[in-house]
Structure 1
Amino acid sequence: MSAAETTTGWTTIQRVILPSADQTDTVPLYVDAGTASGIRLRENDELARTPKLPEEKLQMFSSGGQAAHFEDLLGRHSMRVRSGEQISFGTYFNAFPASYWRRWTSVRDIRLVASTRGTGTVTVYKSNARGSVQRVDGRHVDGTTTSVFELSLKPFGDGGWYWFDLAASSEELVLENAQWETTGGGPETPGQVTLEITTMNKPDFCLNNARILAANPDVLQNVKEILIVDQGTQKVEDEEGFAEVRAALGGKLRIINQANLGGSGGFARGMYEAVENGSDYALLLDDDIVVEPESIARLLTFADHCRTPTIVGGHMFDLYNRSILHTFGEVVDPYRFVPAAPHADMEVRHDFSVANLRQTAWLHRRVDVDYNGWWMCLIPTKVIREIGLSLPLFIKWDDAEYGLRAREAGFATVSLPGAAVWHVSWIDKDDLVGWQAYFHERNRLIATLIHSPYPKGGRVLRESVQADVKHLVSMQYFTEHGRIEALKDILKGPGDLHQVLATKLPEINALKAEYPDAQLKEDVNDFPAPKLGRGPMGGAVVGMPRKKDLIPWGIKTVARQLIKAPGPESAERPQAYLAHRDNRWFRVAHYDSVVVSNAEGTGASWYQRDPKKLKSMLTEATALHLRLFREWDTLAEQYRSAVAEISSIEAWKKTFEASSRDGS
């Protein structure tokens, strides 16, 4: 998409696009078949109150429309509508997110320009924040026709989209191309962006995305440089076909090798280089993604039109189930300091192949966010110059903390519909267990110290203590060791965050040898077979204690695990095998010895109860939390005062210089 003005003074701000030939499973995100609106049932509707209906049927039904024919997609911008059929572009990638443009830009008037060939109708629709569908305009077309519809953004204060449908009459109707346009509101020349990918031993993903970019040169028109910050041992440059891809990108691709500084170190490098090379924006991309290339142009175009410098991010779809949207936007719950949904009715992991945009009311309400995940996020270099780069947190909470810091400085974040990547989902991961537990604990508490508006961080310390108990009664001693190290490092203050950036992960991983629960084996048959029987509870299904019983349950369980020695046979063979989905603290706590599979399904570990470890770790974790509670206000002031220095370009430059020597 070029931002160059046409002869009539109108500028294209969003093009209609269609999926590539190898992504048939993404068709529902681009084009839809059937009538303009589905049938929605609300909880207060008479039918919805009928007890005969299953719970999952209460909210919506399909309109019964047919799926679009993949063979009718003629190219990236063109498709055929068969005689007598109707096709809608009221979809995630092709509806126009009017409320976002209304809220964050000065644009108030747009137009739809649709070029068609054949006989039929072009009909324009809009929705409001409640998801109500309204017909706006329409016209009959015959032969080769360009239809222009002038539209206003004024009614979209709280939500709503524009889109159009095509219906073919007695002959087929072909969409040649279509775009949404505006006049004014943007800069005289488009902003220039540095596109940066941070990677750690995923060279195949990186090369694939580089190929996608090379195959779509039109979206790279305003990309000054493509950077791959390679922090791994499996180098992107060593991949077969790299030279051809580099040549196809016309000199825009540059590789930076540095030591493994985690996501925060890689993305901070992208921010730093964007400032250094004079770009207007840094576009951060994760490595384990597949990018929808048009998203690059859409983010840049939207950011260029924003009234003030604004961080603009894309959404995340599931790479292995590509019609599923992971989340439509996130905020930070300020009392608990955890990611949360902005609205109670927002659905997580929405599947567009089951319910399309037109049928799903909550998707029409504009979602305002605190931050955007750094799987795809465009940050103005003006923001970077004013508030600094990422905090040196390695992984976890770097993106959320940056969004909160930007907001406090007066810079908003927008998660823009129609811009997205497909990302390896963490639904099959459990990063609260294992080496990542250290970073979760430390970085969440650091972000809370810096940004929490509540005394002592609200509920955070209480939940941290509860998590310690859950890990310990679940025999996850390696995980708990990492959490204890996190508390110790927090109490040291912010001065060492840069110094330990490249060394902390190896230190944590070195502890694995001390803990059976950290030893992963690929084949469950590598463990001794459980003794014949149904486990310590006689095969009964163990449920989570009721909320009012949690404290008594915890006291009783901890006391039992401290006092009662495990049977001697527990060190010789496990009592059972547990699938990961059954690895819940209130179940595992009843075992003395159990083999548990991991979230990814790649292996299993042997958990063995150890009263001595439980006693020493619980005592140490409790003492550290008490100290953290007493010193909270002093530490909060230390971390807040240090943010400007440790996130500065100068501080990061020293870290990059050292890590480039290590990573060369």
Structure 2
Amino acid sequence: MSAAPGWSTLQRVIFPPESGVDTMSLYADAGPATGVRFKESDEFARNPKPVEQKLHLVGSNTREVHVDDLLSRQSVRVRSGEQLSLGTYFNAFPASYWRRWTHLRDIRLVVETSGRGSVTVYKSNARGTIQRVDGARVEDDARTEFELSIKPFGDGGWYWFDLASSGGDLVLKEARWEGPPPVRTGETVTIQITTMDKPDFCLANVRTLAGHPEALELAREVLIVDQGSRKVADQPGFAEVAALLGPKLRVIDQANLGGSGGFARGMYESVENGSDYVLLLDDDVVMEPESIMRMMAFSGSCKSPTIVGGHMFDLYSRSTLYSMGETIDSRRFSPGQPHRDMQMRHDFSVSNLRQTPWLHRRFDVDYNGWWMCMIPTSVIRQVGLPLPLFIKWDDSEYGLRARAAGFRTVSLPGAALWHIS
């Protein structure tokens, strides 16, 4: 399904791969738009330390998404009489971020279905208050479109939609959020991975890219800066993956110059090869490759060159959000999180997006960690390369230096990976 003339895809609705069903709560929820609510315990009210906060279930919702109803990465079946909400981390549309940082003011939701049921669109505000926006009955093979404004989303809020089936199964064939074509089109990115003695992780991520041609199509190069003694190129399976990527894959061997040295090399090479962006990635991560397309769509629509970062989930507790951007406490000069509740992380399997009011705020950050951060090469040309600060502060120093030069950083919801936290 391709966008109609005058429209471009901003964000596709996706579902986890077979190997990632433990992340289902990040993609889809069974039940209605609101679901259950949680409240703080009396103990927390008496002793409000973040590490002691506990959540108690007020309602009950034991229904789960049926794993065997996942038909593909973009298609799912809703069984007769059941509901499915896409008001989730990866499938809700972060309207307030697009409102604040891009030229967009109007978007369109396109939903293609088969079967009988309904599609209902919801939105939230910065306080997490939910409001029904529009809805439609569908039957047989249907294409449903909703014209939506993002003008009201000043300081927070998301859009999403729910599906309900009736009289048989309802199949979501594809869905996406669209907007006007980006200001800058035809842009390319160098996807750069810095690695040291983690060739298995690194090779797995390159293999993931090879399996997602839509993301790979945006790449001018996939560049591995190998600083270790266990070389990626010597690993079993490397030749097969290299054949899939062809000339887009390049490996640079260099001495261990630390994370900043590896990333600096990738930034330099991206300027030299004519890329519009460089996407910096850690080696010990598991990617959601759809994030690359979302970051590129967002960057191409920004009012001015903008550093765009992805969020970090815990690799060993995959429904747990570990970081959604970073701030600097200028008084103590120490890194922190943009919201106090992030001090104890957030598990979406316990309280989903719609049940967590603070997640509906827009958070502005000072920098984004270089586990996943896309920097325009125009910024690099003006600001320069990072300082050799290892193991911390290379990314934070660069974000602050870029901000002083007039370039902001946006940590974009819906763009993320899993990292050893």
TM (normalized to structure 2)?
A: 0.95
Q: Describe the shift of the 1:152–1:24 C-alpha distance in structure 2 as closer, same or farther (beyond 3 A).
A: same
Deviation, structure 1 residue 231: 0.2
* Aligned-residue offset at 1:346: 4.3
- The structure where strand makes up a greater share of residues is 2
Amino acid at match of 1:361: P
- Secondary structure of the residue aligned to 2:168 is strand
In the other structure, the counterpart of 1:127 is 124
Q: 1:112 and 1:69 mapped to 2: Cα distance?
A: 25
- Per the alignment, residue 500 of structure 1 pairs with none
Give the corresponding residue for 2:333.
Answer: 337
The whole-number CA distance in structure 2 between the counterparts of 1:173 and 1:123 is 14
Matching residue of 1:430: none
Q: Which residue of 2 aligns with 1:83?
A: 80
> Is 1:93 aligned to residue 90 of structure 2?
yes
Whether the aligned pair in 1 keeps the contact of 2:113 and 2:170 (CA below 8 Å) is yes
Q: 1:62 to 1:265 in 2, by over 3 A?
A: farther
Amino acid in structure 1 at the alignment position of 2:34:
S
Match of 2:192 among 192, 196, 207: 196
Give the aligned partner of residue 493 of structure 1: none
| 2:247 maps to 1:248 | no
CA deviations over 1:185-238 (Å, ceiling 9, x no partner): 422x23110110000000000110011000001111111000000000000000
Q: 2:111 is matched with which residue?
A: 114
Counterpart mapping for 1:66-465 below 5 A: 66-187=63-184, 189-346=185-342, 348-425=344-421
Separation (CA, whole Å) in 1 of partners of 2:207 and 2:144: 35
CA distance in 1, matches of 2:4, 2:161: 25
Tell me the secondary structure at the aligned position of residue 364 of structure 2.
Answer: coil
For the 8 Å contact 1:38–1:61, the answer to whether it is kept is no
Distance 1:184 1:199 in 2: 36
Residue 32 of structure 1, aligned match among 29, 32, 39: 29
SS at match of 1:274: helix
Contact 2:36–2:61 (CA<8 Å) still a contact in 1?
no
Query: Are the aligned partners of 2:182 and 2:297 in contact in 1 as well (CA < 8 Å)?
Result: no
> Equivalent residues in 2 for 1:484-523 (5 A)?
none
Share of identical aligned residues, percent?
65
Say how many residue pairs are matched: 417
Deviation at 1:270, TM superposition (A): 0.7
Structure showing greater relative contact order (alpha-carbon pairs closer than 8 Å, 6 or more residues apart): 2
Q: Secondary structure at the match of 2:170?
A: strand
Deviations 1:346-398 (A, max 9, x none): 45421011110000011000010000000000000010000101101232110
Q: Report how far residue 295 of structure 1 moved.
A: 0.5
Q: 1:8 aligns to what SS in structure 2? A: coil
Distance 1:342 1:50, change over 3 A: closer
How far off is 1:34 after superposition? 1.3
Q: Which has the higher helix share?
A: 1
Summarize the Cα distance change of 1:61–1:357 in structure 2 as closer, same or farther, 3 Å threshold: farther
Q: 1:194 to 1:55 in 2, by over 3 A?
A: closer
1:623-642 → structure 2 map (5 Å cutoff): none
Contact kept in structure 1, 2:8 and 2:182, CA below 8 Å: no
Matches of 1:182 and 1:367, distance apart in 2: 22
**1:258-293 CA deviation, whole Å, 9 max, x = no partner?**
000010000001100000001100100000001100
From the superposition, tell whether residues 156 and 109 of structure 1 become closer, same or farther in structure 2 (CA, over 3 Å): same
Q: How has the CA–CA distance of structure 1 residues 192 and 61 changed in structure 2, closer, same or farther, with 3 Å as cutoff?
A: farther
Contact kept in structure 1, 2:39 and 2:55, CA below 8 Å: no
Within 2, Cα distance between the matches of 1:7 and 1:126?
A: 24
2-structure distance, mates of 1:215, 1:100: 29
Alignment check: 8 A CA contact 1:327 1:350 kept: no
Give the drift of 1:329: 2.2
Deviation of 1:74 (Å): 0.2
CA distance in 1, matches of 2:25, 2:96: 22
Letter in 2 for 1:321: S
Give the aligned residue type for 2:54: E
RMSD: 2.1
Cα distance between partner residues in 1 of 2:178 and 2:344 = 32
Question: How many angstroms does 1:166 deviate by?
Answer: 0.4
Please, which moves more after superposition, 393-402 or 123-132? Answer: 393-402
| C-alpha contact 1:62 1:359 (8 A) present in aligned 2 | no
Q: How far is the alpha carbon of 1:342 from its aligned partner?
A: 2.1
Q: Read off the aligned partner of 1:116 and give its amino acid letter.
A: T
SS at match of 2:113: strand
Q: TM-score, normalising length from structure 1?
A: 0.61
Shift of 1:251: 1.8
Q: 1:258 to 1:61 in 2, by over 3 A?
A: farther
1:56 correspondence with 2:54: yes
**Change in CA separation of 1:55 and 1:315 when aligned onto 2, cut-off 3 Å:** closer
Runs of 4 or more off by more than 6 Å in structure 1?
A: 48-51
